[in-house]
Amino acid sequence: MKRWTFLASYFRLASRARPRRAALVRGGSALVWCTVVASCSAVVSCNAPLEQTGRQWELWDESGEELRRLPAVARLHLRGVRRIALEDLWLVQGEVSTKTSKKLAAREVPPTLAEKRQALSSWTAQDEIILAPGRPFVAGGVYTLLALGVGVLAELRAADETSEMWMRWGDGAVQPGARLAYCKMNRLPLVEFASGNPDLSEFDAGQGGMGGAEASPGEVMWGLPGGLFAADCLMMPATPVAGSVFVPPPNVGVRLLDPQAVWLTQDSGEDPAPAWEEEPLGHACAGRWGAQVCPEGAALVVSNTSQRAMGLEIFVGRSRVGRVALPAAVSSARLGPIAANTEYQLRGVLFDEDDAEEYRLWSATVHSGPGDAQFVITEVMADPTGPEPQGEWIEVQNVGTRAGSLGGFFVGDESGWSPLPDVELRPEQFGLIVRRDFAPSTPLPAATASPLWVEELGGNGLRNSGEVVQLLDRDGAVVSTMLAKKSAEGISLARTTPWAADQPDSFVSHGAPGASPGADNTF
């Protein structure tokens, strides 16, 4: 069956010109070349022996840096050597004495040295050997490259600067050609915002996300815990580099990648049996195996009870309007705004237990309704510079596709609820919920904001230490929640984007000048 992943495009890595040589060392031996990925010396496959090119061999790093100032992820090239088996090439942490080097030349390995051995991927390319350490170098760390039967080849030193590493999302073996994601792992990637169906082969494709590239009309903006795209990612295919192994490039642009080798498995051609039964779908919903997508008003609501990571692509006709990935720990997301009276094609994937390979695929179609208003709490000022509770306010926005009234809605906290007046908000318009004795402080409310007068905000004002504030619809259902967090005096708690999910990471302190009542938030 043809495989598909939720991130359909990937980086086409540009070929690199060989940089300048950074060091010269001497030596040689007469053994056989083999391809190995070595956290231990396990042979994978063998290549033809290399020809001796002289009495010297050359060793350099792709970055062009000197061997005493290597980047955290090195990719070494060794050329001009005699025949040496790749499994005899070792990388160890620390220095190696002359006495130990002589023992290595006699193929005697002290146990204390074997304990310092580092993972090393090695393969031949034309007339040289490529050496890829399987772990990042520690800043300022000293390492030694050696060959059994020869001795020490070179002493290496990592640069003193600490480097940020883009780590692989998921682990374990994958099938050849599977898409691998490498992400800036301050947080797991949940959503990638597709702006204009971009070509992900460009290096900057992982940038942006919510609040990045500007959306075109009709595109779906994805609600993400954290709002902003918290972990930029890039994709690349797992193509064999050394036998049945994929070794990522040391960097893509300025991004250093996790150098750990990835083992490749062969596809048996058989689909695994599903771990759960297909669930019955609700009206107008679509999905399979615990994944479900339902149009609700101006949004698509995604739920995932499969206990597996989920990816989803959404199309209108042949144009992809967005994509989202949910780890197993996140069971739902609200995506929008969607266009009214539109047919959306869905392509979903559920991943294996390592979040690395497709487990089950599904496709379906859903139809959006005539459009509707949708109200979201976007900002709360609990600690104004002026008097309290008179200076407190709650901002709501209509993020839907039609105008709608807040009459019959309630706002409040655990200490009390206040009915909202019958005031209509247009799409994208803000409303400001304030007490009837409201005493505004700077910054002043925007002139375009519609006032929503109430007797009280909560039971007796909003707590400065932070509390849960909710908006209820006419049926008493929660339609939006602002979670409890504390902000400094004169600084509001703001939702990072109108479509960010009701989760803690979606709310942060507002940027200068501290608040934006009735206007877009800034950070």
Question: To the nearest whole percent, how much of the chain has pLDDT over 70?
Answer: 72
Q: Which residues pair with 471 in a beta bridge?
A: 411, 480
Strands 319-326 and 310-316: antiparallel
- Going along the chain from its start, the domains and CATH numbers come out as 9-188+234-268 (no CATH), 190-230+280-371 (2.60.40.10), 375-509 (2.60.40.1260)
CB atoms within 10 A of CB 76: 26
The structure tokens listed for 391 are 């200076």
Residue corresponding to tokens 């999302």: 169
The structure tokens listed for 232 are 């930029």
- Whether the Cβ atoms of residue 19 and residue 62 lie closer than 8 Å to each other: yes
For residue 31, what pLDDT is reported?
Answer: 26
Residue 517 to residue 523: CA distance in whole angstroms: 14
Residue 497 to residue 228: CA distance in whole angstroms: 7
Phi, then psi, of 334 in degrees rounded to 5:
-115, 125
- Whether the Cβ atoms of residue 257 and residue 251 lie closer than 8 Å to each other: yes
Whole-model pTM: value is: 0.52
Q: Which residues of 34-47 are buried (b: 16+ CB within 10 A; e: fewer)?
A: bbbbbeebeebeeb
Residue 236 to residue 14: CA distance in whole angstroms: 12
Quick one: DSSP state of residue 264?
Answer: B
Per-residue CA distances from 478 to 57, 377, 410, 475, 501 (Å): 70, 11, 9, 9, 13
For residue 280, what pLDDT is reported?
Answer: 53
For residue 66, what pLDDT is reported?
Answer: 93
Q: pLDDT under 50 in the chain at which residues?
A: 1-55, 186-231, 268-279
Q: Which residues pair with 45 in a beta bridge?
A: 35
Phi, then psi, of 417 in degrees rounded to 5:
-130, 145
- Whether the Cβ atoms of residue 181 and residue 170 lie closer than 8 Å to each other: yes
Cα end-to-end span (Å), the chain: 46
Task: Please state whether 248 falls in left (phi above 0), alpha (psi between -120 and 50) or beta.
Answer: beta
Query: Residue 240: which of 193, 180, 284 has the closest Cα?
Result: 180
Residue 28 to residue 10: CA distance in whole angstroms: 41
480 CB-side CA count, 13 A: 26
